[in-house]
Structure formats: C-alpha cells, structure tokens
Amino acid sequence: MALLLVLFIAFFVVVFLFLLPILFSLQAVGSLFVYPRQLRAIFGNRI
C-alpha cells in the first residue's frame, strides 16, 4: 500500500514536471500571438 502511494506521488511529480514547461511554452506562444496584435493596434491608431 505504501509502495503504491510512493508510485502515485512519483507519477504526479513526473507529470507536473512534464506539464510545467508545456504550460510556459503555451503562455509564450499566446503572448507572441497577442503582442503583434497590440502593436498593430497602437501603430494603426498613430498612422
């Protein structure tokens, strides 16, 4: 039973460490898509 708990915790940690960079990369990709749109709006208003 204790071994099962240890395996579950280890699995959870591995999944967390695997998903964390994916979440950061998705956030970065999202900001890359949003940022040019904001710049275009700002420059469009000035021009």
DSSP 44: H
Q: Is the pTM of this model over 0.85?
A: no
Between 19 and 29, name the one with better pLDDT: 19
CA distance 23 to 25: 5
CB atoms within 10 A of CB 13: 10
Residue 30's pLDDT is 80
pLDDT (average), residues 13-26: 90
Looking at residue 16, what is its pLDDT?
A: 92
| Residue range 20-41, pLDDT digits in tens | 988 888 888 888 787 777 777 8
Section 1-13 average pLDDT: 95
Cα gap 35→46, rounded to integer Å: 17
